[in-house]
Structure 1
Amino acid sequence: MGESVAPILLMALAGILAGGSYTLRQNDKTLASLICGLIGMVAFAYAIYVLYGPQ
């Protein structure tokens, strides 16, 4: 149970960043939206790596 908490929190962070990216895009802040979305994708990818990567 303890080892699956970090990836869950990273995926939650990725979801928050995706929502922020969407809101920034609606407000015509394209560069900030891209940066926020990119950080969210990295967080999600790292969570997948932590879950399924080499043990």
Structure 2
Amino acid sequence: MSAVGNPILVVVLSLMAGLLVGGVWSSYQRGASRAVTGVLALLAVMAVLFAALTLVEVM
């Protein structure tokens, strides 16, 4: 079974994206450096995009 197109991968990536978005919000609220917040935001966007692309392939 291929990793791409796996419905479990979509769920895992969605959970990871949610955790990363929470991390971005938390680091923004506590006044962390812009670099840390930016890296977390970039990782969150990448996880959301990859989950969406994988979901399209699953369907």
C-alpha distance in 2, partners of 1:32/1:41?
14
Unmatched 5+ residue regions in structure 1? none
Could you list the per-position Cα deviations for residues 31-50 of structure 1 after superposition, in whole angstroms to 9, with x for gaps in the alignment? 21111011011011001111
What is the TM-score normalised by the length of structure 2? 0.78
Q: Does 1:50 align with 2:54?
A: yes
The answer for the alignment partner of 2:3 in structure 1 is none
Cα RMSD (Å):
1.8
Determine helix, strand or coil for the equivalent of 1:28: coil
Stretches of 4+ aligned residues off by more than 4 angstroms: none
What is the TM-score normalised by the length of structure 1? 0.83
- Matched ranges for 1:1-55 at <5 A: 3-29=6-32, 30-53=34-57
The alignment covers a number of residue pairs equal to 53
Unmatched 5+ residue regions in structure 2? 1-5
- Which fold has the larger relative contact order, with Cα–Cα distance below 8 Å and residues 6 or more apart in sequence? 2
Q: Percent identity?
A: 21
